[in-house]
Structure 1
Amino acid sequence: MTKAASTGGRWSRQPIDRRSRRTATTLIVGSFPVVLGTTTLTVALHDVAVDFGAHIGMSQWVVTGYLAALCLVVPMAAWLQRQLGARRLWCAGLTAFALGSVLCAVSWDPVSLIAARMIQGLGGGVTMPLLTTILMQVAPERDRLRLASVVGLVTGLAPIAGPVLGGVVVGVIGWRWLFWMNLPLGAVGLSLALRLVERDRPQAGGRLDLLGMVMLPPALLGLLWGLSRAPDAGQWGDAEVLAPLTAGGVLLLAFVGWSLHRRERSLVEVRVLGNHATWAATLMLLLASVVLHGGLVLLPLMWQQLQQTSALQAGLLLVPHGMGALASRFAALRLMAARGPRVVSMTGFGLAALGTMPFAVVDPGSADWVLLVVLVVRGLGIGMVIVPLMTVAFDGLEQSQIPHASVVIRISQQLGGALGVTMLVAILTTTSATGSVPPGFHTAFSWMAAVAGGAMALSVVLPGPGRRQPNA
């Protein structure tokens, strides 16, 4: 069977064919509001909490609930695609996301907002694995690396641009418009998909792995719920935290054993992690998501609570972060072609750690210009990591394994993002409860810098230079 093109190979100089270009454009437009939706609300958490009279531990579930819904539905993406076809499932996902956006915009309390965000997450959860799967199915092998890089650039920038856009919208017209603005974007994406994504027929057979459904989604939710309870429980050793964490871990291990037994008939075929590039990139993407999403929640909160800025100012202060990420993308791809993903990952995580450590000693008197320079460095590091890891993760896989690998990678990213948000907010909340606000931020940023530093050290597991196959 044909294997996916190696990300270490040379770039093809032939023009990308028209069919692939228009499909990639459609996927980018459709997925942009979905990816943007994971972070636009981060700068609005303070406003949401004030508006509804909720504490920050409750309002952070507006972010985590979205990510939890993604974790629930992403494992079903491959099975749903077989039942409905890629085009029909893509359109259904965009429609569900738009419906959830309307319900978020008219929500009346934290519970209704969280429920609506989970509907958004269900729609976004089926579209994100399809983003990679459809592209790999349509594009010829010689174009896959370049197309994946372009799609990864746009979708990778969306989470970083989200807080900036969110800050502008919240500061000018209010947080509810973060959801209303998804409707025109969704309408364009749906229209393009109906016109340009080729029809495909559902595949006969393939029963849903019911036992896998009983194990994997509850496992992910147990882990997320345990972490989210830490701020309210007051300590990590509380039964409210340990019980769901333990249950989630046991269910996850049980699912892995079940999947290895059931093989290609399992809900998610974890055997794809037997491929070196896939398991290594999956691990590093999980850690990258912890650093990215955790920071994008902590940074706006720090400026609003410690520096007393508005949501608009907090969003604008994150512009250097996005600029740094944009500047590093294509340089990272060229560096990967020359030195391999290991060097790129070590460099990127090292810069992310350096760009995070100064926030561990920030105080109300810290100069904004110094923090903005540091944010550029942090953005350079984050931007350098994500796209190369996304491309190298499919190295050496059979074509039939690509949908399963896409699901595994998406689960790791969403779980990592949820872990980053819940862990760091829990640290911030529990630490600040015992003293003033600055020590809480100092501790949370110290932990984040430690995660980035640990990821830099773990980057040695990635393939080095020399393991290359020429493009077809």
Structure 2
Amino acid sequence: MAVSLERRANTVPPPDNVPAEAWRMAWVIVLGAFMTMLDTTVLAVGAETLTRELGAGIASVQWVFTAYLVALAVALPLCGWLSRRFGAGRVWLVSLAAFTVASVLCALAGNVGWLIGLRVLQGLAAGLLLPAGQTVLGQAVGPARLGRVMGTLGIVMSVGPTFGPVLGGVLLRGLSWEWLFLINIPVGAIALVLGLRLVPRGEKGAATRPDWLGFVLVSAGIPALLYGLTTWGEGGEEFGAGVLVPLVAGVVLLAVFVRRSWGRENPVMDLTLFSSRVYTAAVALSFFAAPALFGALFLLPLYFQVLGGSGVVETGLLLMGLGFGSAIALPISGKLTDRYGAGLVAAWGSVATLATTVPFAIGGFPPDGAVVQILLLARGIAVAFLLMPATTAGYAAVTKDQLPDAAAQINIVSRVGGAAGTALFAVVLANLLPAGGDAAFRATFWWLTAAAAIAALLGTRLWWVTRRA
């Protein structure tokens, strides 16, 4: 059963210094997260090249991306049990090695069928790598220092999406498609060598059997839900059978999973963590904050390309301000979180994110002008004060033993929230574009503003809950 630790999570003592060995370990964990983020964002610009070089149709190449997403969603629910059973550090090291080897094999794939199959292996490893790494960090440093360390990890999440497309475009201009995967090898090798020395293995738990039926339910339900949302966004149309069937199946499977797992002994994921008001408020904020990041990362490149006529590399350069703003703000956000509490920082970050989204909806300035770059820099700073504190609040509200489940659950919620927001924005934009690009983007940015407004309300609620705990 979950133990509510709201009082501990929100009575913030003066933060002590993070030991040097903890920082060294944190940067190794960051390398692993950077590799998965780099892989996803670099490959995002390679669909046309893969279609041409592998002699495959665009529908087949799309499964190179979809198979990875589905496999990642399958692995996420099992990460908590694996970390409890074998130790989070061991899970991280094995998944890091598997992702690196899978990257080599993807580069050697002779046809699109093999590439799709190997991307499944990559996705399974990626689904374990990030939550296991977050668990290692949380268990090593404790809640009083978690904000600063999570801020370091968050730099990867902000820089990767803006740096990756630029690197992908450069690689495809000068080298072959295989380098989209080979670029992972040196990062993975360095992280593995350092990880074997610096990452604690964690404690092995009792040899309890997982609830395999529960695992089947959640590992089928989450991919079905994500697949339905992704298909909806890609099609840009109303609900058809190809969208409705996986969405309904996903919702039903997850509902049965929740009913079966709540209060069950040895569940795949401990859902009684939601008995903590702080944890529940943090998870709710993470769900609606995800579209603020992932939805914007979908809309902004199209904004530059469709309205501004920018190419792939030029678009990546125009987006650098967003990543730069987050990168410089995240260490500050982490320090403030440890000193004043995650609730207060997340509340201000959510309001700032809303304030930096509204101007895009109002419009009236050129996409490639200085105003947009100032807004992107400010928005990057605002998002840094929203996403990381929301996650940190959830992790700080549980015990050390519950952290593997919390990491898996918050990652799942963020993925689903990001996919739902991106799909909604894609459909709105696709339906309005024929009537005019400028009006279509302004209307879609109003939908993004609505998501940011909900996040602002939930950020304020998280602050209120932490103050009353």
How much does 1:266 deviate? 1.0
Tell me how far apart the structure 1 counterparts of residues 99 and 448 of structure 2 sit (CA, whole Å).
31
Q: Does 1:189 align with 2:198?
A: no
Aligned residues, how many? 466
How much does 1:462 deviate? 0.3
Tell me how far apart the structure 2 counterparts of residues 66 and 241 of structure 1 sit (CA, whole Å).
19
Structure-2 residue corresponding to 1:220: 222
Cα separation, partners in 2 of 1:442 and 1:125, compared to 1, 3 Å: same
Tell me how far apart the structure 1 counterparts of residues 426 and 111 of structure 2 sit (CA, whole Å).
21
The answer on whether the counterparts of 1:167 and 1:316 sit within 8 Å (CA) in structure 2 is no
Q: How does 1:225-240 map to 2 (within 5 A)?
A: 225-230=227-232, 235-240=237-242
Cα separation, partners in 2 of 1:292 and 1:61, compared to 1, 3 Å: farther
What amino acid maps onto 2:97 in structure 1? T
What amino acid maps onto 1:414 in structure 2? R
- 1:245-285 CA distances to partner (integer Å, 9 max, x unpaired)? 122112112111111141x4111111112112211111211
TM-score, normalised with respect to structure 2: 0.85
Match of 2:396, SS state, is coil
The root-mean-square deviation of aligned C-alpha atoms, in Å, is 3.5
Cα separation, partners in 2 of 1:342 and 1:360, compared to 1, 3 Å: same
Tell me how far apart the structure 1 counterparts of residues 169 and 289 of structure 2 sit (CA, whole Å).
23
What amino acid maps onto 2:298 in structure 1? V
Tell me how far apart the structure 2 counterparts of residues 157 and 7 of structure 1 sit (CA, whole Å).
29
Tell me how far apart the structure 2 counterparts of residues 176 and 360 of structure 1 sit (CA, whole Å).
39
How much does 1:61 deviate? 6.1
The answer on whether the counterparts of 1:153 and 1:387 sit within 8 Å (CA) in structure 2 is no
What amino acid maps onto 2:279 in structure 1? T
Q: How does 1:326-345 map to 2 (within 5 A)?
A: 326-333=327-334, 336=337, 340-345=341-346
The answer on whether the counterparts of 1:215 and 1:252 sit within 8 Å (CA) in structure 2 is yes
Q: Does 1:288 align with 2:289?
A: yes
The answer on whether the counterparts of 2:84 and 2:401 sit within 8 Å (CA) in structure 1 is no
Structure-2 residue corresponding to 1:313: 314
The answer on whether the counterparts of 2:347 and 2:462 sit within 8 Å (CA) in structure 1 is no
How much does 1:438 deviate? 4.8
TM-score, normalised with respect to structure 1: 0.85
Gaps of 5+ in 2: none
- 1:47-72 CA distances to partner (integer Å, 9 max, x unpaired)? 66787799999877655543432221
- Bigger mean CA offset, 39-48 vs 272-281: 39-48
Tell me how far apart the structure 2 counterparts of residues 132 and 237 of structure 1 sit (CA, whole Å).
36
Cα separation, partners in 2 of 1:200 and 1:271, compared to 1, 3 Å: closer
The answer on whether the counterparts of 2:102 and 2:122 sit within 8 Å (CA) in structure 1 is yes
Tell me how far apart the structure 2 counterparts of residues 94 and 119 of structure 1 sit (CA, whole Å).
12
Tell me how far apart the structure 2 counterparts of residues 57 and 213 of structure 1 sit (CA, whole Å).
30
Structure-1 residue corresponding to 2:272: 271
Cα separation, partners in 2 of 1:192 and 1:428, compared to 1, 3 Å: same
Cα separation, partners in 2 of 1:174 and 1:435, compared to 1, 3 Å: farther
Tell me how far apart the structure 2 counterparts of residues 457 and 125 of structure 1 sit (CA, whole Å).
30
Q: Does 1:180 align with 2:182?
A: yes
Structure-2 residue corresponding to 1:203: 205
Cα separation, partners in 2 of 1:129 and 1:367, compared to 1, 3 Å: closer
Tell me how far apart the structure 1 counterparts of residues 327 and 206 of structure 2 sit (CA, whole Å).
43
- 1:228-254 CA distances to partner (integer Å, 9 max, x unpaired)? 332566633323222221221121121
What amino acid maps onto 1:37 in structure 2? D
Structure-2 residue corresponding to 1:420: 421
How much does 1:340 deviate? 4.8
Match of 2:15, SS state, is coil
What amino acid maps onto 1:271 in structure 2? T
Match of 2:120, SS state, is helix
What amino acid maps onto 2:246 in structure 1? P
Cα separation, partners in 2 of 1:343 and 1:187, compared to 1, 3 Å: same
The answer on whether the counterparts of 1:156 and 1:386 sit within 8 Å (CA) in structure 2 is no
- Taking only the aligned residue pairs, the percentage that are identical comes to 32
Cα separation, partners in 2 of 1:364 and 1:105, compared to 1, 3 Å: farther
- Bigger mean CA offset, 191-200 vs 103-112: 103-112
Match of 1:312, SS state, is helix
Tell me how far apart the structure 2 counterparts of residues 145 and 336 of structure 1 sit (CA, whole Å).
5
The answer on whether the counterparts of 2:151 and 2:333 sit within 8 Å (CA) in structure 1 is no
The answer on whether the counterparts of 2:80 and 2:407 sit within 8 Å (CA) in structure 1 is no
